Chains A and B, each alone.
Chain A
Amino acid sequence: MTTITINGTQRTLDIDPDTPLLWVLRDELRLTGTKFGCGVAQCGACTVMLNGTPRRSCVTPVGMIEGADVTTIEGMAGREFDAIQAAWRALDVPQCGWCQSGQVMSATMLLQQLPAPSDQQIDEAMAGNACRCATYHRIRAAIHDAARTLEG
């Protein structure tokens, strides 16, 4: 048995402790906003917030995070998240959309840490999130936009 808190609700799971958190979220809890992209922490599509920091759920065995507090895209809220959502919509950032939950998770956590990141800080924080559509140009612009709305 593994007990973790997911989006504010405590869950006790009777599951193989080796199961990556990604597949617990998707197969068990039907929280499908978190995506599979690579399975080896190379693309960031599966990024969730674990105890307040970004975590690749595809390489996180659920048995290793007993007691942890996990937030997925479905459970995100707050001014940084709202600002990111507004900027993503204003700039029409997504193309295919598959990686965007992960991009939004990383971008939101970046703004929680650094309210006004530079281009270089954005590049560093977002380097682990791959986008084959290469929406990077708009991701960068949208993070700056969101940061500006948070200032004002």
Chain B
Amino acid sequence: MGLATSRRGFLRAASGLLVAVALPLKTRAQDAAAEAAVPAAPAVPPGAFIHVAPDDTVTVIVKHIEFGQGPLTGLATLVAEEMDADWSQMRGALAHADDALYANLAFGMQGTGGSTALGNSFLQMRGAGAAVRQMLVETAAEAWGVPPAEIAVARGRISHPSGRDSGFGAFAQAAAQRPVPAETPLKPPEHWVLIGTDLPKLDTAEKSDGRAQFTLDLYPEGVQVVVIERPRSFGATVKSWDDADARQVAGVRAIRQLPQGIAVYADSTFAALKARAALKVEWDLSAAETRTSQALMAEMTAAAREAGRTVEESGDLSGLDAPGVTLLQAEYSFPYLAHAPMETLDGVITLSDGRAEAWYGCQFPGLDRPAIARTLGLPVEAVTVHVMLAGGSFGRRAQGSAHFAIELAEVAKAGGNGSYKLMWTREDDIRGGYYRPMTVHRLRGAITPDGRIAAWENVIANQSIVAGTAMEMMMQDGLDPTAYEGSINLPWTFGGHRVAWRRVDGKVPVLWWRSVGSTHTTMATETFLDELLEAVGKDPVQGRLDLLRPDATRERAVIEAVRDLAGWQGSKQGDRGYGVAFAKSFGTYVAQIVEVESRDGQPHVTRAWCAVDCGIPVNPNIIRAQMEGGIGFGLGAILHSTITLGENGAVQEGNFDDYPTLRISEMPQVEVTIIRSDEAPTGVGEPGVPPIGPAVANAWRALTGQRTRALPMIQAGGVV
């Protein structure tokens, strides 16, 4: 196993000895469900996805960025399965930016997001693997003078009953000369030997001993380190600046004004940082957002008290006003959240006489590459983007605005020919915007005297993530589904229900944050549902099962599975509270139960149980890892995280001291069970996140009676 350090390095090392194979025009899946769910792959020219080297190693060129969620291993698994390769011979490398070859079939351009990497690749990568296998078999058959049908392939060996036996590498060069099969059958699921097993990840060893190479680790000849002094208020511009002191710092090469702020170019990182600290910049706030979070939240709350625009409605809502009903109402407020990936935004760019080459954790190559070209006034073909391993993203690198790509290009444009390494510090990151949108939910639920939930209404107010960006095409008739996803298509049967959205425009840049709308919709709906169930005297688990639509079989299965895994006995046992929550996001069904105790009057989660149905589980090891990580990521946010705008709209937080992240001492023991399924595989990068918040809040309420209406649960002044 292993990680090819970079595609370029890989190609150099193996130059001239590669089999470069195209996709077959058509693949034939035996699993009809998977076939129906995945769009057809376009035909692509040779060299796209698989390289077989003379030493038998098979390198899969992975079109999705790897930042921990596992596509490097997942996509290599699909190829290895159909090639009948041995896992030990597999390698992975990240594809460079090229929409024609590497489009996400769910997006129509190259990009990673929405937990789509494995799903959109499921047939495409298997098809590529099957084609290569067939070409190798035909080549061996010709060489051995036997019919292809008599040849077997298993664990990376090609063999014939006559005793002939070979690895892949010996036939690689000749196989590359053969035509790509027009149609290749795929293995039926009952013949899978790798899909569905706990294969070790291809990038673990290099990430455990410091060898894995990330963007910041690149040092091209003569590279200048660049940091930018940025405004503290969103939308502020430079009024004046004084760099007299900054220029005195040894190692400073230049200080230049860019649209993003004042950029320091230096020979070393420390020189750049020291000079930036010595800059004096006055900012013009006339076009800036200068309101505080408190003022913005007041605006958002007022908006949620309006009717909003209906996005889903069914049944009879009169129950909300009928005599004799008990009406429950709640308002939930959600703060801005920063993603704070461990590796801040960074990029390397080399400009040389009309060509640009960039290396960074590029999540949307399909948008970034043209943005770099536009900024530099170059044709797209003159721009090469190498996708690097990235130290987390959680949505931060998936930029509809391509703002980082543009900034990187601006750095090079101002600097001229040369190499530049642009680095954001942690403060730049935390204060840099592109937050999970501040959001308010206003919920109303009516309970009839005979104990039924007669009506449900949810009005959501927040800023659109996609409006006004290159992702605007996601808007549907003026509605941004990412603003309220997770609040509609709920599996519960209410008498009548209405969900509405009130768009509130603003100047604070917002972005998707791991699980996007479901970061807030699931928190609001699943805690409110718990309160309604309590009001009608139902157990949180059984009450949910009773409310499920009859056709909600996958929802039922995960809730029952987590109930059994946790040994659910009710929501309070002695000094421990238990809470449950369910969410379907990105096509994946997840139910979680947590055990919570009070430590110094604050919630401490001791255990978490999780049941997940993501269709065919390609790599259970990665699925479990993503559920564990999703639980930890979501837990840190609901316990600790808030971005606060203070005086002049300046962000108050700046680093992990005032924007705390979950620590190991707060990480619960996690048990995960995966539902067996032959449905098309769906993603796991995000769906572990949504249920954890409401599960904890429900457990805390069961334990203490305190409701969670605002986040984070733990603030400087204690539990709110």
A binding-site residues for B, Cβ under 8 Å: 16, 18-20, 23, 26-28, 30, 32-40, 42-43, 45, 72-74, 76, 85, 88-89, 92-101, 104, 122-124, 126-127, 129-140
Chain B residues whose C-beta falls within 8 Å of the C-beta of A18 in the assembled complex: 270, 274
> Can you report 11 A-B residue pairs in the complex whose CB atoms are below 8 A from each other?
A16-B270, A16-B271, A32-B214, A35-B216, A35-B342, A37-B343, A40-B656, A97-B214, A101-B209, A130-B661, A135-B625
Write the B605-644 contact mask toward A (1 if CB under 8 angstroms, else 0): 0000000000000000100010011111101100000000
Min Cβ gap B651→A in Å is 16
* Interchain CB contact under 8 A, B210 and A132: no
Tell which of A28, A85, A104, A130 touches B342, judged by Cβ atoms closer than 8 Å: A130
Min Cβ gap B705→A in Å is 29
- Whose C-beta in chain B lies nearest to the C-beta of A90? B200
In the assembled complex, B68 has its CB within 8 A of some CB on chain A:
yes
In the assembled complex, B239 has its CB within 8 A of some CB on chain A:
no
**B residues 336-366 touching A (CB-CB < 8 Å):** 340-344
- How long is the Cα–Cα vector from A99 to B629 in the complex, in angstroms? 14
Given contacts A132-B341, A140-B664, contact A92 B625 (CB under 8 A): yes
- Whose C-beta in chain B lies nearest to the C-beta of A61? B270
* Interchain CB contact under 8 A, B656 and A130: yes
- How long is the Cα–Cα vector from A26 to B268 in the complex, in angstroms? 10
Min Cβ gap A134→B in Å is 2
Chain A residues whose C-beta falls within 8 Å of the C-beta of B633 in the assembled complex: 132-134
Which of A26, A94, A97 counts the most chain B CB atoms within 10 A? A97
In the assembled complex, B686 has its CB within 8 A of some CB on chain A:
no
**B residues 644-683 touching A (CB-CB < 8 Å):** 655-657, 661-665, 667-670
* Interchain CB contact under 8 A, A27 and B269: yes
* Interchain CB contact under 8 A, A134 and B656: no
* Interchain CB contact under 8 A, B631 and A134: yes
* Interchain CB contact under 8 A, B209 and A97: no
Chain A residues whose C-beta falls within 8 Å of the C-beta of B389 in the assembled complex: 96-97
- How long is the Cα–Cα vector from A93 to B207 in the complex, in angstroms? 9
Tell which of B70, B216, B340, B655 touches A132, judged by Cβ atoms closer than 8 Å: B340
- Give the A-B pair count, Cβ closer than 8 A: 189
**Besides A38-B655, A96-B389, 7 other A-B contacts (C-beta < 8 A):** A20-B270, A40-B656, A89-B204, A92-B204, A94-B208, A104-B209, A131-B632
Chain A residues whose C-beta falls within 8 Å of the C-beta of B657 in the assembled complex: 40, 42
- How long is the Cα–Cα vector from A40 to B427 in the complex, in angstroms? 10
Chain B residues whose C-beta falls within 8 Å of the C-beta of A100 in the assembled complex: 207-208
Chain B residues whose C-beta falls within 8 Å of the C-beta of A139 in the assembled complex: 664
Which of B201, B268, B636 counts the most chain A CB atoms within 10 A? B268
In the assembled complex, B219 has its CB within 8 A of some CB on chain A:
yes
* Interchain CB contact under 8 A, B628 and A137: yes
* Interchain CB contact under 8 A, A43 and B342: yes
Given contacts A74-B210, A132-B661, contact A36 B216 (CB under 8 A): yes
- How long is the Cα–Cα vector from A137 to B628 in the complex, in angstroms? 7
In the assembled complex, B600 has its CB within 8 A of some CB on chain A:
no
- How long is the Cα–Cα vector from A96 to B203 in the complex, in angstroms? 9
Min Cβ gap B693→A in Å is 14
- How long is the Cα–Cα vector from A38 to B343 in the complex, in angstroms? 9
Min Cβ gap B531→A in Å is 28
Chain A residues whose C-beta falls within 8 Å of the C-beta of B667 in the assembled complex: 134, 136-137, 140
Which of A28, A39, A98 counts the most chain B CB atoms within 10 A? A98
The 6 tightest CB contacts between A and B, nearest first, are A33-B210, A134-B632, A98-B391, A95-B68, A97-B207, A96-B68
* Interchain CB contact under 8 A, B219 and A126: no
* Interchain CB contact under 8 A, A32 and B69: no
Which of A23, A37, A95, A135 counts the most chain B CB atoms within 10 A? A95
- How long is the Cα–Cα vector from A131 to B625 in the complex, in angstroms? 13
Min Cβ gap B673→A in Å is 15
Given contacts A95-B69, A97-B207, contact A132 B394 (CB under 8 A): yes
* Interchain CB contact under 8 A, A27 and B270: yes
Min Cβ gap B515→A in Å is 14
* Interchain CB contact under 8 A, B392 and A133: yes
Chain B residues whose C-beta falls within 8 Å of the C-beta of A134 in the assembled complex: 628-633, 635-636, 662, 667
Chain B residues whose C-beta falls within 8 Å of the C-beta of A30 in the assembled complex: 219
In the assembled complex, B217 has its CB within 8 A of some CB on chain A:
yes
- Please classify the interface of chain A as helix (H, G, I), strand (E, B), loop, or mixed, using the class held by over half of its residues: loop
Chain B residues whose C-beta falls within 8 Å of the C-beta of A135 in the assembled complex: 625, 628-629, 632
- How long is the Cα–Cα vector from A136 to B342 in the complex, in angstroms? 14
Given contacts A33-B210, A42-B656, A134-B631, contact A27 B268 (CB under 8 A): yes
- How long is the Cα–Cα vector from A74 to B667 in the complex, in angstroms? 29
* Interchain CB contact under 8 A, B656 and A38: yes
Min Cβ gap A139→B in Å is 6
- How long is the Cα–Cα vector from A35 to B211 in the complex, in angstroms? 11
* Interchain CB contact under 8 A, A43 and B656: yes
* Interchain CB contact under 8 A, B670 and A88: no
In the assembled complex, B205 has its CB within 8 A of some CB on chain A:
yes
In the assembled complex, B213 has its CB within 8 A of some CB on chain A:
yes
In the assembled complex, B250 has its CB within 8 A of some CB on chain A:
yes
* Interchain CB contact under 8 A, A137 and B270: no
Chain B residues whose C-beta falls within 8 Å of the C-beta of A43 in the assembled complex: 342, 426, 656, 661
Min Cβ gap B341→A in Å is 6
* Interchain CB contact under 8 A, B342 and A45: yes
Chain A residues whose C-beta falls within 8 Å of the C-beta of B271 in the assembled complex: 16
* Interchain CB contact under 8 A, A97 and B212: yes
Which of B200, B271, B628 counts the most chain A CB atoms within 10 A? B628
In the assembled complex, B390 has its CB within 8 A of some CB on chain A:
yes
Tell which of B216, B391, B631 touches A97, judged by Cβ atoms closer than 8 Å: B391
* Interchain CB contact under 8 A, B209 and A85: yes
* Interchain CB contact under 8 A, A94 and B204: yes
Chain B residues whose C-beta falls within 8 Å of the C-beta of A37 in the assembled complex: 342-343, 426, 656
- How long is the Cα–Cα vector from A19 to B250 in the complex, in angstroms? 12
In the assembled complex, B425 has its CB within 8 A of some CB on chain A:
yes
**B residues 189-237 touching A (CB-CB < 8 Å):** 200-201, 203-214, 216-217, 219, 225
* Interchain CB contact under 8 A, B664 and A23: no
In the assembled complex, B492 has its CB within 8 A of some CB on chain A:
no
- How long is the Cα–Cα vector from A74 to B212 in the complex, in angstroms? 12
- Whose C-beta in chain A lies nearest to the C-beta of B267? A27
Min Cβ gap B106→A in Å is 23
- How long is the Cα–Cα vector from A138 to B67 in the complex, in angstroms? 17
Which of B208, B389, B630, B670 counts the most chain A CB atoms within 10 A? B208
* Interchain CB contact under 8 A, B662 and A136: yes
Chain B residues whose C-beta falls within 8 Å of the C-beta of A138 in the assembled complex: 625, 628
Chain A residues whose C-beta falls within 8 Å of the C-beta of B664 in the assembled complex: 122-123, 126-127, 129, 131, 136, 139-140
Which of B214, B250, B664 counts the most chain A CB atoms within 10 A? B664
- How long is the Cα–Cα vector from A72 to B209 in the complex, in angstroms? 10
Min Cβ gap B440→A in Å is 27
- Whose C-beta in chain B lies nearest to the C-beta of A30? B219
* Interchain CB contact under 8 A, A133 and B213: no
* Interchain CB contact under 8 A, B268 and A23: yes
- How long is the Cα–Cα vector from A28 to B663 in the complex, in angstroms? 32
Chain A residues whose C-beta falls within 8 Å of the C-beta of B212 in the assembled complex: 97
Min Cβ gap A125→B in Å is 9
Write the B7-33 contact mask toward A (1 if CB under 8 angstroms, else 0): 000000000000000000000000000
